[in-house]
Amino acid sequence: MHLAYPAVLAALLFCVGLYGVLARRNAILVLMSVELMLNAVNLNLVAFDVWLRDTLHSGQALTLFTIAIAAAEIGIGLAIVLAVYRNRGTSDIDRLRDTAETDEAEKLPDTAETDPADADTDAGGTEPTPGRVDGKTGKTKKAEATT
């Protein structure tokens, strides 16, 4: 058998998987597309191992490791997708991106109002001065004692 047949089949599988990763919005379909890409790599590893007539069969051994890693990856990936689906109610990747948590500092609006206690401080901002700040000039007025 020629090496071209499994190589072309692996290239087609890899392209279908790449299209699935880039075009699909469902997280489960994206994981399935990643699995297609890994299977294309496995097919290439076995095909080149047979073509090179490797006595150690290192391509087939590497394929077994790849299958084990892929099984662990799909188990963890499905667990994450199920947890996200339970929390958010959707597995759509675009919606998950839109509802990402943002920093609390970005949510707080900027206010022009200042605390009245801050207005009674001197220029250094460390000690309060007696009296209040005049709204027009911004200078501190002395407190008038009433007797």
CA separation for the pair 20, 36 (Å, rounded): 9
Residue 139 and residue 133 in contact, taking contact as beta carbons nearer than 8 Å: yes
CA distance 82 to 73: 14
Hey, what amino acid is at 47? A
Structure confidence by residue, pLDDT tens digits, 104-144: 545 556 555 555 555 555 555 555 555 555 556 656 555 55
Q: What is residue 46's predicted lDDT score, i.e. its pLDDT?
A: 95
The model's pTM:
0.63
**pLDDT tens-digit readout, 84-104:** 899 988 888 888 776 666 555
Burial of 17 (C-beta count, 10 Å sphere; 0-12/13-18/19+): buried
Average pLDDT, the chain: 80
Q: What's the average model confidence in pLDDT over 59-82?
A: 94
Residues 39-68 have pLDDT tens digits of: 999 999 999 999 999 889 999 999 999 999
In whole angstroms, give the CA distance from residue 32 to residue 41.
14
Give pLDDT, residue 1: 75
